[in-house]
Amino acid sequence: MRILFLSHYFPPEVNAPANRTYEHCREWAAAGHDVHVVTGVPSHPAGVPFHGYRRGWYQHEQIDGVHVHRVWTHLAPNRGVARRTLNYLSFVPTAVLRAWRLGRFDVIISTSPQFFCAVAGRVAAALRRTPWVFELRDLWPESIHAVGAIRPSLPLRLLERLELRLYARASAVVCVTQGFIANLERRGVDAGKLRYVPNGIEPSFWEAGSRDAGRTRLGLAPGQIAVTYTGTIGMAHGLGTVLQAARLLETSLPRVKFFVVGDGAELAALKARARDARQSNVEFTGQLPRASIADVLAASDITLVTLKPAETFKAVLPSKMFEAMAAGKPIVLAVEGEAKRVLERAQAGLPVPPGDAVELARAIATLAQKPGLRERLGAAGSAFVATEFNRAVWADRYLDILGEAARGYAGSRAFTASRPIGNSPQ
């Protein structure tokens, strides 16, 4: 098949959507398919082009057999509403134009968030009369209301109406959680077009991390226990609770040190908060290359996965869970719903209520003082994720969905073309 994937993020960016899109496309290219990605100049989260890239209207490169087409967007840091919205919106015309110039495809996919990337995919597919698959990684715009970024308003209601129209127009809607599927079914989306393709991992990548290299990078002394959060530092992630938990353990467990690894809209505020409180057991590393994240996880003794308490987030399944499991590390999970159920199935960590610093500190203290429990939970998670969430397996299933969409669309067009022209029988 000739496959076109529109994604706002792509390597060398290191966030979850970039990694997911790259790993799927790489598998499809390796299977012999002609795979193209339309994306922007890598700049997330600082809004500055990565080394070796430049601002421009168009750049082409090939990464592991995947044709990567980088189009112009208004670059903006991952904070503030106006400039980020302009960044998202500017992707639509340039991505659609590049998709048109690339010719015909058997199927077009676009991933959301960011939401307007899905809009670009829909427009590109309509112009070429090509089947379109909507990949849904977050219940946007519902999630931005959940974190308080936008209050209920007419623009939000209009976005929700557009969201439902996009689901209706898609040949298939690929959801990363079962909770998303249930949400869309409740809202009247045709269950027959909903498909489940969760986030996953490439086990060998995360197993290859170096504990010694990671502990050296983090500056850990012998005997110190590393508690790490790795990923986006945004409004949804509830990292203020992590600072509170660290403060509770600062005196009672001085061997425990917290590391917040990543960047995002809330980083500056969290750093200021920790500095004002003179917290000596919390360190912010900033954004690290993806290979270094594997080393950091190898160096970790305990990993954290947190979100704010919100009904919307009960349908979320954070990809960092799978990365921690693949690295063989126990998880303290402050997320309810589907993520908690998966953790309990895997027996890979300790769940706590989101937003509860006391319970978070208590779970961290339990694991810090029980190395045998840490080892047992880490081993269970590693075995579980290697079989249940292996990226190569799910990429193959995703390919089946794309083939089904392409055949179904071709079949419906053939049926339409073969209908007799003229008046219908009375």
d(CA 69, CA 48): 18
**Whether residue 45 has a cis bond before it, omega within 30° of 0:** yes
Residues in CB range of 426: below 8 A, 6 or more apart: none
Angle 354-359-360 (CA atoms, 0-180°, nearest 5)?
70
d(CA 121, CA 124): 5
Phi-psi region of 63 (alpha: psi -120 to 50; beta: other; left: phi over 0): beta
Task: Take residue 271 and report the two structure tokens written for it.
Answer: 């750093």
Task: Take residue 319 and report the two structure tokens written for it.
Answer: 């990809």
d(CA 304, CA 368): 13
d(CA 409, CA 27): 24
Query: Strand 66-71 to strand 58-63: parallel, antiparallel, or no bridges (unpaired)?
Result: antiparallel
Dihedral sign from CA coordinates of 163, 230, 351, 331: positive
Q: Are 108 and 84 in contact (CB under 8 A)?
A: no
Phi–psi pair at 63, nearest 5 degrees: -125, 115
State the chain's maximal CA–CA distance in angstroms. Answer: 87
Task: Take residue 10 and report the two structure tokens written for it.
Answer: 């792509």
Residues in CB range of 2: below 8 A, 6 or more apart: 33, 34, 36, 104, 105, 106
Residue ranges with strand state E in 313-392? 331-334, 349-351
pLDDT at 144: 55
Task: Take residue 260 and report the two structure tokens written for it.
Answer: 């917040």
d(CA 160, CA 312): 14
Nearest CA-CA partner of 37 in 121, 123, 127, 136 = 121
Question: What domains appear along the chain, each with residue ranges and CATH number?
Answer: 2-200+390-408 (3.40.50.2000), 203-388 (3.40.50.2000)
Counting DSSP H helices and E strands in the chain, the numbers are 16, 14
Q: In what order do the strands lie in the sheet with 282-286?
A: 282-286, 256-261, 225-230, 302-306, 331-334, 349-351
Phi–psi pair at 44, nearest 5 degrees: -80, 135
Residue 90: count of CB within 10 angstroms of its CB: 18
pLDDT at 411: 58
d(CA 331, CA 237): 15
Stated as kind and residue range, the H or E segment containing 270 is helix 267-276
Cα-to-chain-centroid distance, residue 209: 21
Q: In what order do the strands lie in the sheet with 66-71?
A: 58-63, 66-71, 34-40, 2-6, 107-112, 132-136, 172-175, 194-196
Residue-wise pLDDT tens for the chain (426 aa)?
999 999 999 999 988 889 999 999 999 999 999 999 999 999 988 899 999 999 999 999 999 999 999 999 999 987 777 888 899 999 999 999 999 999 999 999 999 888 899 999 999 999 999 999 999 998 765 555 555 555 556 676 777 788 889 999 999 999 999 999 999 999 999 999 999 999 989 888 998 999 999 999 999 999 999 999 999 898 889 999 999 999 999 999 999 999 999 998 899 999 999 999 999 999 999 989 888 999 999 999 999 999 999 888 998 999 999 999 999 999 999 999 999 999 999 999 999 999 999 999 999 999 999 999 999 999 999 999 999 999 999 999 999 999 999 998 765 554 333 333 233 322
45 secondary structure, DSSP code: T
pLDDT at 415: 37
Dihedral angle, C-alpha 241, 242, 244, 248, nearest 10 °: 140
d(CA 255, CA 270): 22
pTM of the model: 0.85
Which amino acid is it at 147?
A: V
